[in-house]
Amino acid sequence: MATLIIIHEFGHFFFAKVFGVGVQVFSVGFGRRLFGVVYGGTDYRLSLLPFGGYVMMEGADPFQDGGGGDSEPDSPTSFLNKPVWQRLIIVAAGPIFNLLLPVVVFTGLYMGGEPDVAAVVGEVQLGSPGSTAGLQVGDRVVKVGDREVLFWTDIYDALGVGAPGQTMPFEVERGGERLTLSVVLPQDMIISEGYGFPHQLGLQSDWANNIIGVDDPSSPAGRAGLKTNDRIAAVDGAPVGTWVALLDALEGKTGPVKLSVDRLNADGDQESLSLTLTPDPTWTPRDVGVVDPNSNPYGLGPANLFINQVVEGGAAAEAGILPGDHLVGINGRALGSWNEVVARIGDAQQGEGDALSASAISVTLVREGGVRQLTVVPRVVEDTDALGRYRKRAMLGIATTPGTTVQPFTEARRYSFPEAVKQATRETWAVSVLVVEQVGKLLTGEAAPEKSLGGPIQIFRDAGQAAEEGLFAWARRLGLLSVSLGIVNFLPVPVLDGGQILFYLVEAVRGRPLSVAIRERAQQIGVLVLVALMFMVFIFDINRLISG
């Protein structure tokens, strides 16, 4: 956070020097001076309260544009004696520098070899455009349209030049061969800011990992002692990290197989077990009425299709769905992943907004080896998305086990300097647009403040988590925070830079500044709003800290 404050205040400082304004103090933090150094007439200091910073210029108080400082009224180095356009630039330079910092940071990341997800397909949803075109799990995408592809994010760029209904060739590597497949972009395909989204084609980079479920105690897996949410770490000593790798390792086995299994006990501690899985040619999976893409002769399933939690009093609970149930179909359509469960429930939605409703769905599941068919009417509820934006959607009131996917294919990505600058500028713009939209939704009540706003406590927590993930994650988080700080400071609220910019724009139009009384009253209101906002955000941070 200190880095962002220093960059912000340096923007003010730099242009104040350019235009000949005397700078008396450059402070990180507010309140009493802790320590610092005086150089060139400026006191560079660290102050007691680390919740911001300021630059004190001759003729301008750091908190209010009403004069002050030690300069004479007619001093040529006084801030207020400078032309209004120079004052506008000086004030705007702080948030502008915050918006420029991410370009520099992201450029460094793109040039430095930031790990990125390779363009290897981890999931293809059944019946999706990707599935219809013939894409398979494990395909490495090397070209989309006329664009070369190395990483998953390249697919976003390549789809961004497409259009709904267009047929786009996907060139993939599969088993040492190159294939060209024709994918028809759906009519409701969303293309935003030059990006298309692979999940709209039913494609994901996440793979089902090695956490499994068991739905039949009489199956080979059940008799081996395996339980739902066990993690199979190795087969006959060979490590496996994904569901596909697990099935590949078991394929063709005719005798007993040694499994290395990790299991959480009742206290939440991990235990390592060695179990023996013995194939049984006399056992076959139950007929579930659909072609289960995960069916195998061992009675194993990916854990992300097993119910881990059922909300009490929810639609699923009232229909009789229980924790441990294995979902295999909805409305006669097979399920291959949790994403497909979400998609099938979404298909039951009718209308939108306040008129949104949901029709009944038929759920096929396996419980203790028996097949059950249940009718469930999803309930329309209002919640928030990952950005804290309010939404209404149909829900069953169920959840799968968290952490059941993995991205096993990551590679270092390096750009040339010109391409890195281009990508960094594009990403900064996209993030800025997103932040502006989010601020707008907060102001109009379309987003939840408690989910969207974070103060110093949350920022420090995020920074700490990012630091644990490594330098690249920390730098990216720094860039994203800098965008937010820059845009928020442009808000036309007195005591923020945006409020000062508004005052000077009014002065430029009127030919004279607003009266001191108006500016003082606006500053007082601005301070009250800012203090109330800081208190509210502090409460949000504490609640998040308590709830974990």
**CATH number reported for the structural domain that contains residue 324 in this entry:** 2.30.42.10
Residue in this structure with the two tokens 């979902």, named with its chain if needed: 327
Q: Do 129 and 200 belong together in one domain?
A: yes
Does some domain include residue 507?
Answer: yes
Does some domain include residue 223?
Answer: yes
Identify which of 25, 34, 92, 85 has the alpha carbon closest to the alpha carbon of residue 60. Answer: 25
For strands 257-264 and 203-204, give the pairing. unpaired
Q: Do 277 and 376 belong together in one domain?
A: yes
**Within 65-123, where are the H helices?**
84-112
Q: Do 216 and 347 belong together in one domain?
A: yes
Amino acid letter, 502: L
Q: Do 175 and 95 belong together in one domain?
A: no
Q: Do 218 and 260 belong together in one domain?
A: yes
What sign does the CA torsion over 38, 39, 43, 48 have? negative
Does some domain include residue 471?
Answer: no
> What number of H helices and E strands is found in the chain?
14, 28
Q: Report the pLDDT value the prediction gives residue 548, as an integer from 0 to 100.
A: 60
Does some domain include residue 101?
Answer: yes
Among 205, 230, 258, which residue terminates a domain?
A: 205
pTM across the whole model: 0.74
Which two structure tokens, joined as six digits, stand for 510? 């009127």
Identify which of 332, 326, 399 has the alpha carbon closest to the alpha carbon of residue 362. Answer: 332
The residues annotated as belonging to the active site are 9
Which two structure tokens, joined as six digits, stand for 258? 């040694």
Q: Do 199 and 220 belong together in one domain?
A: no
Among 177, 205, 233, which residue terminates a domain?
A: 205
Give the angle subtended at the CA of 299 by the CAs of 294 and 303, to the nearest 5°: 60
Residue in this structure with the two tokens 């920074």, named with its chain if needed: 463
Which two structure tokens, joined as six digits, stand for 329? 């179909």
Q: Do 168 and 249 belong together in one domain?
A: no
Residue in this structure with the two tokens 């040694």, named with its chain if needed: 258
Does some domain include residue 469?
Answer: no
Which two structure tokens, joined as six digits, stand for 271? 């235990």
Q: Are 95 and 489 in contact (CB under 8 A)?
A: yes
Does some domain include residue 401?
Answer: yes
Q: Do 233 and 363 belong together in one domain?
A: yes
Q: How many domains are contained in the chain?
A: 3
Q: Do 359 and 229 belong together in one domain?
A: yes
Does some domain include residue 428?
Answer: no
Among 380, 406, 432, which residue terminates a domain?
A: 406
Report d(CA 166, CA 96) in Å as an integer: 39
For strands 114-117 and 123-124, give the pairing. unpaired
Does some domain include residue 118?
Answer: no
468 Cβ partners below 8 Å, 6+ apart? none
Q: Report the pLDDT value the prediction gives residue 268, as an integer from 0 to 100.
A: 83
- Domain containing 329 equals 211-406
Q: Do 397 and 510 belong together in one domain?
A: no
**pLDDT per residue as tens, the chain (548 positions):** 678 888 999 999 999 999 999 999 999 888 889 999 998 889 999 888 876 788 899 887 544 444 444 555 568 888 888 999 999 999 999 999 999 999 999 999 999 988 889 999 999 998 899 999 999 999 999 999 999 999 999 999 999 988 999 999 999 999 999 999 999 999 988 887 778 999 999 999 999 999 999 999 999 999 999 999 999 999 999 999 999 999 999 998 889 999 999 999 888 889 999 999 999 989 988 888 888 888 899 999 999 999 999 999 999 999 999 999 999 999 999 999 999 999 899 889 888 777 888 999 999 999 999 999 999 999 988 877 766 777 788 999 999 999 998 888 888 888 899 999 998 998 899 889 888 988 888 888 877 777 777 776 777 777 677 667 778 888 888 888 899 889 989 988 888 899 999 999 998 998 888 888 888 888 888 888 888 888 888 887 788 777 76
Which helix (H) or strand (E) segment holds residue 33: the answer is strand 23-39
Residues in the chain: 548
Q: Report the pLDDT value the prediction gives residue 467, as an integer from 0 to 100.
A: 66
Q: Do 152 and 64 belong together in one domain?
A: no
Q: Do 94 and 220 belong together in one domain?
A: no
